[in-house]
Chain A
Amino acid sequence: MTATAPRRTGAVTPGRGTSETPPRRAAIAERTLRTDRWWLQPLITVVVLVLFVVYSSVRAFQNAHYFAEPYISPFYSPCLTTACEGDTFPELFTGPSWISPAIYILVVPLGFRLTCYYYRKAYYRSFWQSPPACAVAEPHRRYTGETRLPLLGQNLHRYFFYAGLVFNVILTYDAVLAFRDETGAWGHMGLGTLVLLANAALLWLYSLSCHSCRHIVGGRLNSFSRHPLRYRFWTVVSKLNAHHMKFAWVSLVGVAFADFYVLLLATDTISDLRFF
């Protein structure tokens, strides 16, 4: 009953009439008139992300010190190499030895974070400066956003999310295994157990608060009232989603710290604080 009527041109006629000069924006030379320190936020983002990338690259290529019974670094889990052989970890698969297993393990979490709606904002703003801050002109002459490859690939985010869930399960399993001692006997707990537990928990929070997750559990529905259970899920995920940025940063630092802690143990720099 309310189909769109055929439109004439100029359905809305704005008050034109200044024909002397073609339409032009106000002539303001400054890139921005913002008086606050708008550059601070992107700067912090760059510094933290660069530090993480440098650290994680070093560790990923190092292919060593990722294992200290009963803990395994999240960068190298699941244990795909023979380096864990003979220990208490199950051997799943043996990868080629010329490449650090971290490289192909990290593809998934890296892809998940790279296509994450929050990180996209962070690196588009800080690295690509598109835009560096709101109402501050970006330096690029052309801009096509995520309309073409490779950035069209950002739409694959939900597959990285699914795959990321598998890794969350594995890392949770690792944290559970950390309740065994070096000999494989249950009933142990050290600071490392806590570190791995916290790491897993943060990763769950980060994954479950993800925008794709919010869409999948219920956001795609148009009638919540006909799906009360999924509406409940959606409500919970929506609450988490409001903190997605926070979880993104905290879990990032958490992963790096968990790896660093294992590194310290594996190199015998410190010894694990043992609770029982």
Chain B
Amino acid sequence: MATLPRFTTRYVDWTPWVETVDEVGPTEEQRAIVDEIATSPRGRPYWATLAHDAPALRARHKLFRQSLAGTEDGSPKADLELAAVATSRVNGCVYCASVHARAYEGLTRNRALMRRLLDEGVDTELPGRERALVDFAAKLTRDPAALTGADLAPLRDAGFSDLEILDVAHAAAMFAWANRLLQTLGGQHIEE
């Protein structure tokens, strides 16, 4: 197995194991979608890898953004970021965890909680509300077929509406997707 850096809030770099469209010469459609989505040179290789299937990337990116958007009637964005980190922590995706840990910290200023989650994993001690969210995201990640209606009770008891729970589930499910791309199309490392 490839050696991964420890979970961190530092920037993690990602190097594709296949050539990107930038390297082989993009079509007009491919160049357009990468230019639209890649907000930094550092993140560009990932999008320029996925752009080999530009229609799939375009469709997926709409869903990805919506899954993390946060809503007034449902989950606040911080909860969706926490679901993303919990899923990534379970799956072992250091890259996704770092990106969304930074987003969570920016929204909540709760660095202590995020540090514990990254260092110790999803079973670390958490306040009731975060405990319920992380447990649900972890179970959806590990063994979704084992979920039952009873798994909603801790979330409802902690004050989540059903619409918020649906939003959290979508965010966690979206990272089942994202983690697999980052983990299986390239390598993750930190520049020392």
**Do A and B share a complex?**
no
Q: Which residues of A contact B (CB under 8 A)?
A: none
Q: Which residues of B contact A (CB under 8 A)?
A: none
